[in-house]
Amino acid sequence: MARQMYNPPHPGAILRGLCLEPLGLSVTDTAKALGVSRKTLSAILNGRAGISPEMAVRLSIAFDTTAESWLNQQLQFDLWVAEKSRKSLKVSRLAA
């Protein structure tokens, strides 16, 4: 199995750096355009919450991207975080 060898950025950092900042958008204006609360968007931008499938669809509509690209970024981040605790997991090998 290929393992991630780097720390992928949280999708919120990508959203801030590639979407909000270049377009000069505030968190408040972006949240309103996405139809979510400022608190919800702020949690994503600050890495305290992940991108849900529904949020991925909202982002794809707002920024003319694909929902899959946002979900893939979240998956890569989540998998990297999970892999960091691999050695501490108490799992018995079942394969031959």
CA dihedral for 28, 30, 36, 42, sign (positive or negative): negative
Residue 35 CA to chain centroid, in angstroms? Answer: 18
Burial of 70 (0-12, 13-18, 19+ CB in 10 A): buried
| pLDDT given for residue 74 in this prediction | 97
Looking at residue 66, its amino acid is T
Reported as a single tens digit per residue, the pLDDT across 9-57 is 999 999 999 999 999 999 999 999 999 999 999 999 999 999 999 999 9
State how far the Cα of 28 lies from the Cα of 73, in Å rounded to an integer: 23
Non-local CB neighbours of 72 within 8 Å, separated by 6+ positions = none
pTM above 0.85, yes or no: yes
Domains parsed from the chain with CATH numbers: 11-80 (1.10.260.40)
Q: What is the mean pLDDT of residues 56-71?
A: 98
